[in-house]
């Protein structure tokens, strides 16, 4: 899986304006759950990268960006958290151990 760092309001605006799908993964680098979920995504998520750009927000290094994502897409902040964005709207939101490649792929296929 190819993660693209999400670090600026300009990037977030482009995701909001983009047609099609984007994926945002909010990752806490100090959390064992988040590390495990990220590892599963890296190991099994190549098909996701082929279907949509996958952005990653480092919650420790950039908490304001995480907060901006939660506000922009009207979701409660959680960590780790994965959002599927379609045409500027959050259509799927999952957190913690419930984040799976299969469920994310299904959310994109719908």
- pTM recorded for the entire structure: 0.96
What would the pLDDT profile of 50-107 be if each residue is shown by its tens digit? 999 999 999 999 999 999 999 999 999 999 999 999 999 999 999 999 999 999 999 9
The structural domains of the chain, ordered by start, are 3-109 (3.40.30.10)
pLDDT(1) > 90: no
If one counts every other C-beta atom within 10 angstroms of the C-beta of residue 105, the result is 16
């Amino acid at each position: 899986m190819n993660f693209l760092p999400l670090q600026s309001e300009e990037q977030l605006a482009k995701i909001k304006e983009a047609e099609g799908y984007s994926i945002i993964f909010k990752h806490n680098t100090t959390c064992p759950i988040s590390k495990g979920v990220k590892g599963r995504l890296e190991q099994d998520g190549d098909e996701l990268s082929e279907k949509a750009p996958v952005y990653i927000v480092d919650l420790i290094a950039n908490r304001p960006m995480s907060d901006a994502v939660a506000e922009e897409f009207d979701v409660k902040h959680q960590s780790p958290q994965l959002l599927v964005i379609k045409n500027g709207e959050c259509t799927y939101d999952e957190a913690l151990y419930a984040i799976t490649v299969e469920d994310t792929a299904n959310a994109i296929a719908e």
